[in-house]
Amino acid sequence: MTRLALVTGAARGIGAATVARLKADGFDVLAVDRGEDDPRLPYSLGHFHRGPDTADAALDVVGEGRVVPVQADTTDVDALRAVVEQAGGALDVVVAAAGVIAGGVPAWELDADAETAVLETNLGGVMAAARVGVPALLRRPEPRAGRFIAVASTAAQRALPQLAAYCAAKAGVVGYVRALAVELGGTGVTANTVSPGSTRTPMLDESARLYGLESAETFAAQQPLGRLVEPDEVAAVIAFLAGRDTHAITGADYPVDGGLAL
């Protein structure tokens, strides 16, 4: 039987790479993204180039072995629940990858609306995915192999100046998922995080702009790896954690950061 995954933040970056990797591994994928810009943020967010605009399209994914893009607010519990219910109500994997960034000024000077957007999307979005996704994972009969995976960041461990709200949100993701792992003990559902370093995504381009850098390539010098991390490399670790044979891994935070946190 084909396994069904839900991925948020799926229109580009790590989310899109994860959708492609899970698809290649044989999953049906509900690829969910806000799909429009956030007026609280000064840069463009991911957009689906084509695809349905409502959760009703999730009906089409089941049993077809394919990806269905669904435009929905990834912080909206009701919207996410509608996506899952339209697809049958049960999931095998949830990947919470939606994220945004804002900063470029000291924490106390950051625009309040931008700060709220960072906290709501990066941490609130993970919590919304869990509120909807964990019950859907638990709907699979025992012995189950449910997987909840959230994208955190090296910023959860390493202080990044002028990105305090982002650091706070990502540290919150790691703490939240660790607690979730304990609460899910014995259910067959695991919960883990993946923490990318400087990864070649539009969000890193925005980080470079916030710091006044010429390009995101400048961040490569921070990482012992000597280059930026590629989204596919992060997706590979997410796909590993999504596998059926990772029952013994839960409450872990996997760095995919080229050594940035060292």
Answer whether 261's CB lies under 8 Å from 152's CB. no
User: Please, which residues have CB within 8 angstroms of residue 46's CB and are 6 or more apart in sequence?
Assistant: 9, 10, 11, 12, 13, 15, 16, 33, 34, 35, 202
166 labelled catalytic: yes
Rounded Cα–Cα distance for residues 102 and 163 (Å): 7
Q: Which amino acid is at 218?
A: T
> d(Cα 239, Cα 102) in Å, to the nearest integer?
28
* Among 166, 176, 211, 254, the one annotated catalytic: 166
Please, which residues have CB within 8 angstroms of residue 227's CB and are 6 or more apart in sequence? 220, 258
- Show which residues are catalytic: 166
